[in-house]
Amino acid sequence: MRQERGSSGRPGKIIAVHLSYASRAAQRGRTPAAPSYFLKASSSIAGSGDTVERPAGTELLAFEGEIALVIGRDAHRVGLAEAWDHVAAVTAANDLGVYDLRAADKGSNLRSKSRDGFTPLGPDLIDARTVDPHRLRVRAWVNGDLVQDDTTGGLLFPLAQIVADLSQHLTLETGDVILTGTPAGSSVIVPGDVVEVEVDALDTGATSGRLVTTVVADAGPAFDPALGSLPTVDDIQREEAWGSREAAGLPDEPASGLTDDLRAKLERVPVAALSQQLRKRGLDDVTIDGVRPMHPASKLVGTAATLRFVPFRPDLFARHGGGFNAQKQVFDAVSPGEVIVIEARGETGSGTLGDILALRARTRGAAGVVTDGGVRDYAAVAEIGLPVYAAGAHPAVLGRKHVPWQAGGTIACGGATVQPGDVIVGDADGVIVIPPSLVAEVVDAALAQEDEDAWIAARVAEGASVDGLFPMNAAWRARYDGERDA
């Protein structure tokens, strides 16, 4: 593939997008509000038919099929409307990287993605003037099996936006290459594997041809510990590199931090008793206020999966409201035993879920939903039977008051801070948030208090005065302890 800059034929710079496809964002469990970038060394460029070495001492070399843009003329502070005019060509790219080398460089990806041969491009260029940037497709095959297949319709950030945004911060020069991110399906490859990537235009059929890369083992020396950081991996890295715990060969992870024993105890304890114990420990702002249950007789117990809406703004909704947005991602990926907790700022003038999403959550095994906003299709949602706590009903669709903004992360719901993994318990009295580190202590104390309160209630029913009994004075306490220990 011919480049226009430098005596070596290499681009002046290669810029890559961290996360740009909705399918990949759903896989990672996070949706960025704006694109972010990293640089790759121009010496990492390779062509079709070349081999790539997996570095000695590493295990997690991963491919990423991508659409590459080649800048045709310098772009500096260009607007969205003119950005595509600065793109000369489109081609296929394989943004290779080694997860074992990510830790030391964090998001810069210098060591993990800039090695020689880690940016195969080509084999052919598609004239950007002849294609619709919204109608491009990228596909990848490993050993002949199709493993990635997505279109630019699935991008969180359109191609022209990426070009315009980058031009705000630096000059894109003729011959520069932009790697526009990978969809879901990226995974680990090993020596002997053959990866093929192709980009084509859905409206014209123009194609980059198949970009072919074969993985080989690096016969060179291992990394020298005296010079810098060594490769390091853990199960989190393995899961991200392979795309899932199952693909990585890792054992299933419990959907929540709740053991069966803790969950059973929480099912027995009223929210009021838990609230009392949390107050004793200085936690007085952990109730989700303003929400009521659709099914007051149902108990809600689970761990939080969070979703945040921001106030409606037309331009933001145009970018984040459609397609596989953050709202759909959370409901589509919720794990068994999780409670979807939604920050809607107490705004009830629009629905934050409806019957289809409630059905999806129930099918996925969700424990329930808590939203400080409205529910659309209220009767239909109630009929599904999923425990739902909401601030009210409203017939309007999402775009009236809200923009679905972020899946995951810390949110505020009904005046309470909620983080993913927090324990959520609800009953007819309301909903409470328990820090995971306190669950065992709080539930045991609440059960003990419940036993004590039941004993006091029995004495009152027998005719005893509450004076000195509630709370118990020394005499009553001695009697209670004696009967309890008998």
* 333 falls within a domain: yes
* 250 falls within a domain: no
Same domain as 280, residue 138:
no
Same domain as 89, residue 47:
yes
Same domain as 127, residue 156:
yes
CA end-to-end span of the chain, whole Å?
87
pLDDT of residue 155: 94
- Give percent of the chain above pLDDT 90: 70
Same domain as 235, residue 288:
no
Stretch 71-75: mean pLDDT: 96
* Amino acid present at 326: A
* 448 falls within a domain: no
pLDDT of residue 164: 97
Q: pLDDT per residue over 217-276, tens digit each?
A: 998 888 888 888 888 887 778 888 998 888 888 776 544 568 888 999 999 999 999 999
* 413 falls within a domain: yes
Contact 11, 42 (CB under 8 A): yes
pLDDT of residue 227: 86
* 486 falls within a domain: no
* Amino acid present at 319: R
Q: pLDDT per residue over 4-14, tens digit each?
A: 434 357 899 99
H-run or E-run covering 416: strand 416-418
* 33 falls within a domain: yes
285, two tokens: 């702002």
Same domain as 155, residue 122:
yes
* 342 vs 409: CA distance, rounded Å: 11
203: domain CATH number is: 3.90.850.10
Same domain as 347, residue 238:
no
Q: Which of 298-302, 318-322, 403-407 has the lowest mean pLDDT?
A: 318-322
pLDDT of residue 398: 77
Same domain as 271, residue 232:
no
Same domain as 222, residue 122:
yes
- Give percent of the chain above pLDDT 70: 97
Same domain as 215, residue 86:
yes
Nearest to 323 by CA among 54, 9, 23, 67: 23
* 176 falls within a domain: yes
Looking at 208, 242, 276, the residue that finishes a domain is: 242
Nearest to 288 by CA among 153, 430, 172: 430
Looking at 185, 216, 242, the residue that finishes a domain is: 242
422: domain CATH number is: 3.50.30.40
Stretch 136-154: mean pLDDT: 96
Backbone angles phi, psi at 341, to 5 degrees: -110, 125
pTM: predicted TM-score of the whole model, two decimal places: 0.57
Nearest to 255 by CA among 366, 178, 158, 116: 366
Same domain as 230, residue 272:
no
Backbone angles phi, psi at 105, to 5 degrees: -105, 0
Q: pLDDT per residue over 341-395, tens digit each?
A: 999 999 999 999 999 999 999 999 999 999 999 999 999 999 999 999 999 999 9
Nearest to 129 by CA among 164, 84, 73: 84
Same domain as 295, residue 200:
no
* 86 vs 163: CA distance, rounded Å: 8
Q: Which whole-number Å values give the CA distances from 170 to 164, 175, 307, in the listed order?
A: 10, 14, 34
Is residue 399 helix, strand or coil? helix
Range of the domain at 169: 14-242
pLDDT of residue 26: 84
Count of domains forming the chain? 2
Same domain as 295, residue 217:
no
Does 316 have pLDDT greater than 50? yes
H-run or E-run covering 454: helix 439-461
* 277 falls within a domain: yes
